[in-house]
Amino acid sequence: MKVLVTGTAGFIGSHVALQLLKRGDQVIGLDNLNDYYDVRLKKARLSRLMRHDGYTHVHADLSNRAAMEQAFSRHRPQRVIHLAAQAGVRYAAENPHVYISSNVTGFLHVLEGCRRHGVEHLVFASTSSVYGANGTLPFSEHQSTEHPLTLYAASKKANEQMAHSYAHLYGIPCTGLRFFTVYGPWGRPDMALFLFTKAILAGEPIRVFNYGKHQRSFTYVDDIAEGVIRVLDTVPVKDAAWNAYLPDPQSSSVAPYRIYNIGNEQPVALLRYIEVLEECLGRKAEMELLPMQAGDVPDTAANMTLLRDAVGYVPKVPVETGVAQFVRWYRTYYETLQDERVA
């Protein structure tokens, strides 16, 4: 297939694109390479993709309507995986207009591209954060998502509703994936595992919020990428059994539309996660225990029944293996950067 993947210079997008290329798909990668974090890391991710003949890169911003229309009309993708977004929950609070321009207006441009060019299936990134103030665990697609606690979560909830409307009005098959905490090699520098590793190696304290009482459905990035591709290959159709008089916010719909959790059903305590990292680094962490941040939730846990039944998705990598893989990548990547500076 010819697949447009947005956000290929990003963490998850680069892994998904690489798996598609390895199985023989053509990938049109789109990214604006913004400087929200170190552009060298983004370029290094892209360099892994550029080695493949099946990869074509488009430098464009989601919020640029003309550029997005040109990308669709020129490359004519059969299917689309939309993973690009302005990253950072804190960034959303500080720069709400920029955030909405990328995450909402940009998503509209993706939907319009799919509508105008007959895309067979759009898979897009949502987030477990849409569950917001809901305290019932594990989080299930049957539960309400009407109480987001951050602008980030609200923007992703908006994406889900926009996609549903386009699926209903124009018959575009759409599948949204609510990502739980993703980690692994080539991760973002603003994510906890990256921040913890950098601080521990520098002999600096790590900031541990909610006094370390968090639990998270930590999910290894290769498991996530496999799940995204399984979903891409499974085009949704209208649910003939959908009941308009007893609507349920689950993945079935009157439209060719689905929403799934994608994560690990075995949540891990944050303090255990840190303990594994200490073992991999061979160093103890000095922890600065802090209260919970505004907009955060104490625990997340994914109910994976719907996605498992739909595509056979079962994540395989435990945190002990995944964190070790990250540490190996981190040391190799930054040793290489150091060698380049010396040279």
Closest C-alpha to 317, from 34, 15, 58, 41? 15
> Does residue 249 have a pLDDT over 80?
no
**343: confidence class by pLDDT, cuts 50, 70, 90:** low
**CB-facing half-sphere around the CA of 195: CA atoms within 13 A:** 9
Strands 182-183 and 219-220: parallel
Query: Is position 170 annotated as part of the catalytic site?
Result: no
Helix 270-281 crosses helix 192-201 at what angle (to 10 degrees)?
40
Contacts of 267 (CB under 8 A, 6+ apart): 138, 215, 216, 217, 218, 299, 300, 301, 302
Q: Which CATH class is domain 2-342?
A: alpha beta
Q: In sequence order, what DSSP letters do the residues of 295-309 get, joined into one string?
A: T--SB--B--HHHHH
For residue 262, give the 3-state DSSP assignment. Answer: strand
Q: Which of 152, 220, 260, 273 is catalytic?
A: 152
Q: Residue 123's pLDDT is what?
A: 98
Six-digit token string for 311:
């595509």
Confidence of residue 198 (pLDDT cuts 50, 70, 90): very high
Type and span of the H or E element at 110: helix 106-116
Give the tens place of pLDDT for each residue, 255-310: 999 999 999 999 999 999 999 999 999 999 999 999 988 778 889 999 999 999 99
Residue tagged 């059903």 (tokens): 265
